[in-house]
Structure formats: C-alpha cells, structure tokens
Amino acid sequence: MLTRIDHIGIACRNLDETVEFYRATYGFEVFHTEVNEEQGVREAMLKINETSDGGASYLQLLEPTREDSAVGKWLAKNGEGVHHIAFGTADVDADAAAVRDKGVRVLYDQPRTGSMGSRITFLHPKDCHGVLTELVTSAPAEETEH
C-alpha cells in the first residue's frame, strides 16, 4: 500500500545552481547527495518534511552525468522540470506486482537500488496518464544518513 509522496524528481542542467535556488528561495537544505553511476545521475535530496509512517518527503534534483542516461535524454527532449513522482511503500515488490496485475507496465523485472540505499522501480508513463511514476521502499533509517 502506498503511504506517502516520497519525492518529486526534478531534472536540471546544473545541480549546484538548482540546489542554490531551492535553498535561497524556499530555505530547503540538502539532506543527501550521491552519484548513481547505473542511472547516470548526480543528485541532491532536499528534505521537505517528516511523515507519519516514519519516512520523509523530498525534492530530488537530478543532473545527468552522461547524455545517454534516461535523465539526460529526457532533459534534452523536455528541458528542466518535473521528471517523475515517487510514492513510498513498505514493500516495493508487492506493490509493483499488484499494479502489474492491474495492467500497468512495471519497467524493472526486479527493483533496483535507488537514492540513499532504497529499493525502487518505475511504472510506464503511458499507463499512468503521462506521469513517470516511481515506487520506493526506503532503506532502514540507520542506512540513510548523509
């Protein structure tokens, strides 16, 4: 069962400049940064708030590290902006299977490693009214420190 909006992914050309905009404009601070070589992105997670299920909600700023990455291709086609929305779940495997059973295409056969050690999969945007949708099971709290 989906429990919260985990994050909203925003594609950007310059991560440092985009982080500074969100810091200066809204007061959001960077909670975590990493480079995900598999997905070809450098990212910053800006924590927005805590949630009742023990998780949090974030803005995930994504700068491609290579043009052929999914975010790099998307950015070249669409420009900067909202790339995807991610819903938190206690069990990404079960929820991915449940939506697959309802006819929604799940993009990964098995969940992959995402930000901060999470387990993730994506749902095809054509099956989600044009929205690239991610399902996320957060890593245990002790594993997600900066």
Q: Give me the catalytic one of 39, 43, 63, 83.
A: 43
Whole-number average pLDDT of the chain: 93
Domain 2-137 fold: 2,3-Dihydroxybiphenyl 1,2-Dioxygenase; domain 1 (3.10.180)
Task: Say if pTM beats, i.e. exceeds, 0.85.
Answer: yes
Q: Give me the catalytic one of 39, 60, 63, 83.
A: 60
Q: Give me the catalytic one of 7, 39, 63, 83.
A: 7
Q: What is the pLDDT of residues 27-79, one digit of tens each?
A: 999 999 999 999 999 999 999 988 777 778 999 999 999 999 999 999 999 99
Q: Give me the catalytic one of 32, 63, 134, 146.
A: 134
- Residue 60 annotated among the catalytic residues of the structure: yes
Residues 6 or more apart in contact with residue 23 via CB below 8 angstroms: 29, 30
Q: Give the Cβ contact number of residue 20 at 10 Å.
A: 11
Q: What is the pLDDT of residues 97-133, one digit of tens each?
A: 999 999 999 999 999 999 999 999 999 999 999 999 9
Whole-number Å distance between alpha carbons of 20 and 38: 26
More confident site: 42 or 146: 42
The pLDDT value recorded for residue 146 is: 47
- Residue 43 annotated among the catalytic residues of the structure: yes
- Our measurement of the distance from residue 82's CA atom to the centroid of its chain's CA atoms, rounded to an integer in Å, reads 11
